[in-house]
Structure 1
Amino acid sequence: MEYSKEKSHIKYLLPIAFILAVVPLIVYAKKISIDGILKDYWSQQLDFFSYYKMIAFLIAVLASVISLVVYYYKRRKLKRTYYYLFMEIYGILIIISTIYSTSPSVALWGFPDRYEGMFVLLGYLIILFVTINLVEYKPDIRFLLFSLLLSAAVISTIGVFQYFGVDPLTTVFGKEIILPSSLHSIGDNISARFDYAFSTLYNPNYMGSYTGMLLALVLTLYTLTAKKKIRILLGCFSLLIFAGWLASLSRAGMVGGFCSIVFLVILLRRELKKNWKALAVLTLGFMLVFTGMNYAGDGRLVKEVFSFGQEVKIAAGKKTGEFKDITINKDQLTIITKEEKLQINLTEDNSLAFRDGAGKKVDYKLKKDGGIIKLKNGKYQAYKFRLLPDKGLLHFEYGSSEFGKKKVDFKITTKPERGFWIMGFAGKAYKTGQIEKWGFEGRENLGSNRGYIWSRSLPMLKDTILTGYGPDTYGLYFPQYDNVGKLIAFNTTRKIVDKPHNMYLQVGINTGVISLIALLTVFGVYSFSSIKLYWGGRFDNFYKKVGVGIFGAFLAYAIAGLFNDSVISVAPVFWILFGIGISVNMKLKEELV
């Protein structure tokens, strides 16, 4: 069955196209004020990547609702689907979690630099609903996908420039665009970051999720397109997005994109044989892009690929460091490593006494001019101490180049309580103690320290079964005072953990486990529907080709979500593609009836 080529809802879809094409590109400085409880968690006064994306997104969501109302007034027609039930459950729990949050302002608007509060989360569900109902005909889908690919081309181009050491955002022209006139005076203080590509998406991990999702989509369309001119255009998009994908150096994005592409190869196995020549040309192009970027990047791409081997070793049981623990018992500080134990006691005359694990005295030499303490026992060569009496601090460094040097300050007090304290979160002094954790013992560095974050996040779920702590409030409830754990994972006690690096943990903690189940049900129903429609099928019409491509994009994002968070820079694109995918599947099911 072919559908009318004349019919179109494009005029109603302009707000959705704006979200797809413009919102991810927005980079503009916003001076923000941090007050209340957030002063302990955030000090940065400028936001470039999230605040105005959030504002533009919410305005576009409102416009999309108006479009849907006008459409309904004229057509009196909305689609009926069981997806709405689970969307409603998720939305209601977002609202309830906000109402009962102890930080309502954060729950409504979001954490600084993220801005994914209640209004934004509900906005995702609204654009999903609007997209399901307004996307109906071929011109609608072509218009939205072309808008998306043009935007993706710009984002990928900026990312590739950043990879090669030129950041368009920090050029003189770029600063004129991203800084309001009131902030032009700080332009000289903005410098480029060349370790990775983040483009306009703030973080290389988000760049990886975005380009991995788009790569799966565009590769599918390239494979299934019969028209030569369109295939050439899609091939160009594929090469550019592939370059942006590599430039991010995001292993999460690589895993999501790669797994999705493998699954698509299985689904499209018959089509691959038919179009092997075109695929061979594109594969050659990919090889040239990879080789050129790796050479220009001094082997960074190959190094990143081989880093997966290290992750496998860690997951299989290799411990990720020699440092194990610090305990404080009033005036006794104990530092424990894999091989040695060192005790430091505060004596009656307020001097320091060092002893080994057997209680034997360890002599030391103190350089009074610099406060450097050198232990005379050779077993402790990796231990570096510096006494700062004017600040009442004992600075400690430990470690090797393989795992990084661990740096921490200990506060020494004599009144009202004599003893040691560990300096950590918000510049405050803490005692050590047991932190609730689950799994990843000795594997805290797995996945760029995700093992540590997950091990402390999983126990939080038992308190968020019915409702969560509130949208985007994760950072306020994570055990930021886990100074020893942070030292093991991050080599410092001062780092703030504001996100779980797992979209599903993020949902379960912020809006509740039941809301996560509702969301996973929506994902599961769509996945089952897609596999049923596309497995072993013939991709002989426009809707099947687009449908399987969007399913590939969905898989890439959902898999990357195991390692990345939902974020305003990328999530709106996913939810719109998800809505298109659901709409297309519904149309194909009607065709089969």
Structure 2
Amino acid sequence: MSNVSHSKKHNKINSLLIPLAIIIIIVPLIVYEYNFTPSIANEAWFPDANTASDFFLFYKSIIVIGIGFLLMAILLYKQFASKQKPFTNFQLWQIPLAVYAIFVLVSSFTSSYSDVAWNGTYEQFETALVLIAYCILLFYSYYIVKKEDDIQAILRFLLIGIALITFIGLLQVLGLDPIATTVGKYLISANKSKEAIDAMQFTFEKNRVYMTLLNPNYVGVYASMLFPITMGLVILSKDNRKRIFSGILTILLAVAVFGSQSKTGLITLAGTSVLVIISLRKKIFTNKKIAIVIAGAFVVLIAGFFTINAMQNNAYLNSIKNALSVKNQTHTLESIQTKHDYVEIKYNGKTVLLRCELDEEGKIDFSVTDEEGNNIKANYDQTTMTFTLEDESFNSLSVKPVYLSEDGIFGCEVIIDNNTWYFKSKTETEGYSYMNKYGRFDQIKDQDSSLLTNYGQLFTGRGYLWSRTIPLLKDYILVGEGPSTFVYVFPQNDYVGKYNNGFDSQIVTKPHNLYLQMAVETGVISSIAFIVLCLMFIIQSIMTYRKSALDNLIEQTGVLICVAVIGYMVSGLINDSNVGVAPIFWILLGVGFACNRIIKETRERKKKLESL
């Protein structure tokens, strides 16, 4: 006998769920150009640009904030005008949620980059209001979902949203990216002129899936979260049409991950599949048809993986091998530092102090010494006007005096291992400085590094990002620098580290780790609070469903959301938060808590009836 009564007919969708439908279905699909003047352009390590464009984040964030305000208004109205008051029924999990929200606000108000924390910046629009909106989405979902019909509606929203976005992904994997077509570019461009549309270029190669989520990595995050739900519905649904539809979406999610080349997505899909099978083992192994369907689906998915990998010239398998290869890496170029009187270069275990200036008569004054001030002999080639050092340890290093601009800025061109570095010479008012690829002068300093210092290529370069991010945490134990400010805090002038680890052509805007991102932006305590919140849900769900027969939709949904939350948390180890995906997670978390509440209340009522 079921613990929860089933509706015999489909009722109309609760109108209070419509805002959640917009978040789940519409927000991930929003792509439109937003032009802005980036304040970040004032930084020496960023291009000197007057305007920047965003297509995938800004307008998503605006809708999320708008929905957040709407939901808060509804909750406040309910609090003061309804018998069921949302803010009076205290739950223990609301403590870490409140702690997280408080530190988001405190970090934003106290930030050195407060404008960025509230308004966003280059490739970062998860602002303070967006993060607060996430908290509201969780609380609202928990409060508003009260019966099976509400959960049924949420599942419909999810399936519709998955269907729409994975269809785009399918077209992309087939090389038919609708966004990259002339019509697609016209629709997403703010400037409708033919010249602007023709000039629009896309970063990712043909057959690569990014859907409408900015980057292929977020395809993996999206699928990691929703794959368990569609897979579970294939197993649990008694309606053959729904089972077939869910099965198609499960395959499309997997195809999207294959096409995105997201290693994290692939690993998490495999892991959550196992968790779904374990969670639903009683349903699977008592029904031979379901077991056969699952086995057949895995065969199809494996075949699909190798087919798509072949279409992408073995790119996926190669990237997995590279990402998982753990090597203790050493680099011949160990460090460069620009000092007031010289440029310090550590190369092949030795250190040289380089000076290249113009004397009062306009003649080149060039010298190289070791750390003790002893001269190192250099040869000068008049044909190439290049200095080379006699010490064989520096046979891949050469120096050429040059003018760095038409304004007569003098400096030198240093070639190390066939890579060129430009340095501006000391003047009466300034010391040596490095001219980066943007033609801007900056200082190169040694940066703190920890744990993964020599494993920079681990997980496709994430080892380097984490090794430079972890030392920052000591400054943000209580309060972070503010939402969207990671790009400012990360040592962008670690030019040697970025060069050695393949990031020399990039502005690092995120750590590719959800928990490190939170720790830096909103404080270590906020990151811990978020983890505690998620663990409380997972533990609560395990305690709720460990002996459950999973005979009704509420129990089934609760279990599947638990696996989805685990999938999202695991993917968060390798990826960060994104405004196209994160809102759905926070809604699912709220719905998951609601499922647990409904089951608990139903069981308590049943016990009372049985005791009569």
* TM-score, normalised with respect to structure 1: 0.88
Q: CA deviation at 1:165?
A: 3.4
1:354-413 deviations in Å (ceiling 9; x for gaps): 689996534353545xx67677887656546655325334344545xxxxx755322223
SS of the equivalent of 1:413 reads coil
Counterpart in 1 of 2:20?
Answer: 16
The yes-or-no answer on 1:230 pairing with 2:232 is no
Matches of residues 104-503 of structure 1 in structure 2 within 5 Å? 104-180=114-190, 185-195=195-205, 196-274=208-286, 275-310=290-325, 313-314=326-327, 318-319=328-329, 321-328=331-338, 330-338=340-348, 344-346=354-356, 349-353=363-367, 361-365=377-381, 367-368=383-384, 382-383=396-397, 387-391=401-405, 392-399=410-417, 406-416=419-429, 420-424=432-436, 428-490=440-502, 492=504, 495-503=506-514
Matching residue's letter, 1:13: L
Q: Are 1:89 and 1:515, in contact at CA under 8 Å, matched by a contact in 2?
A: yes
Structure 1 residues 65 and 355, CA, compared in 2 at 3 Å: closer, same or farther? closer
The CA distance in 2 between the partners of 1:162 and 1:356, in whole Å, is 56
SS of the equivalent of 1:13 reads helix
SS of the equivalent of 1:22 reads helix
Q: CA deviation at 1:229?
A: 2.4
The CA distance in 2 between the partners of 1:387 and 1:50, in whole Å, is 45
Which region of structure 1 is more displaced relative to structure 2, 323-332 or 163-172? Answer: 323-332
Q: Are 2:323 and 2:459, in contact at CA under 8 Å, matched by a contact in 1?
A: no
Q: CA deviation at 1:177?
A: 1.2
The CA distance in 1 between the partners of 2:394 and 2:547, in whole Å, is 64
The CA distance in 1 between the partners of 2:108 and 2:40, in whole Å, is 18
The CA distance in 2 between the partners of 1:201 and 1:449, in whole Å, is 21
Q: Are 1:256 and 1:555, in contact at CA under 8 Å, matched by a contact in 2?
A: no
Q: Are 2:336 and 2:496, in contact at CA under 8 Å, matched by a contact in 1?
A: yes
SS of the equivalent of 2:126 reads coil
Q: Are 1:547 and 1:585, in contact at CA under 8 Å, matched by a contact in 2?
A: yes
1:193-234 deviations in Å (ceiling 9; x for gaps): 333321210011112111221112211222233333222111
Structure 1 residues 248 and 491, CA, compared in 2 at 3 Å: closer, same or farther? closer
Counterpart in 2 of 1:402?
Answer: none
Structure 1 residues 305 and 363, CA, compared in 2 at 3 Å: closer, same or farther? same
The CA distance in 1 between the partners of 2:169 and 2:389, in whole Å, is 48
Which region of structure 1 is more displaced relative to structure 2, 345-354 or 87-96? Answer: 345-354
Counterpart in 2 of 1:508?
Answer: 519
Q: Are 2:377 and 2:389, in contact at CA under 8 Å, matched by a contact in 1?
A: no
The CA distance in 1 between the partners of 2:557 and 2:228, in whole Å, is 11
SS of the equivalent of 1:194 reads coil
Which region of structure 1 is more displaced relative to structure 2, 523-532 or 107-116? Answer: 107-116
Matching residue's letter, 1:19: I
SS of the equivalent of 1:31 reads strand
Counterpart in 1 of 2:57?
Answer: 50
Q: CA deviation at 1:266?
A: 3.2
Q: CA deviation at 1:284?
A: 2.1
* Greater C-alpha Rg: 2
Which region of structure 1 is more displaced relative to structure 2, 563-572 or 137-146? Answer: 137-146
Q: Are 1:9 and 1:134, in contact at CA under 8 Å, matched by a contact in 2?
A: no
Q: CA deviation at 1:111?
A: 2.6
The yes-or-no answer on 1:542 pairing with 2:553 is yes
Structure 1 residues 35 and 340, CA, compared in 2 at 3 Å: closer, same or farther? closer
The CA distance in 2 between the partners of 1:163 and 1:227, in whole Å, is 30
Matching residue's letter, 1:97: S
Matching residue's letter, 1:2: V
SS of the equivalent of 2:335 reads strand
User: Which ranges of structure 2 fall in alignment gaps of 5 or more residues?
Assistant: 605-612
Q: CA deviation at 1:435?
A: 2.5
The yes-or-no answer on 1:60 pairing with 2:86 is no
RMSD: 3.1
Which region of structure 1 is more displaced relative to structure 2, 292-301 or 190-199? Answer: 190-199
Matching residue's letter, 2:28: P
Structure 1 residues 446 and 306, CA, compared in 2 at 3 Å: closer, same or farther? closer
* TM-score, normalised with respect to structure 2: 0.86
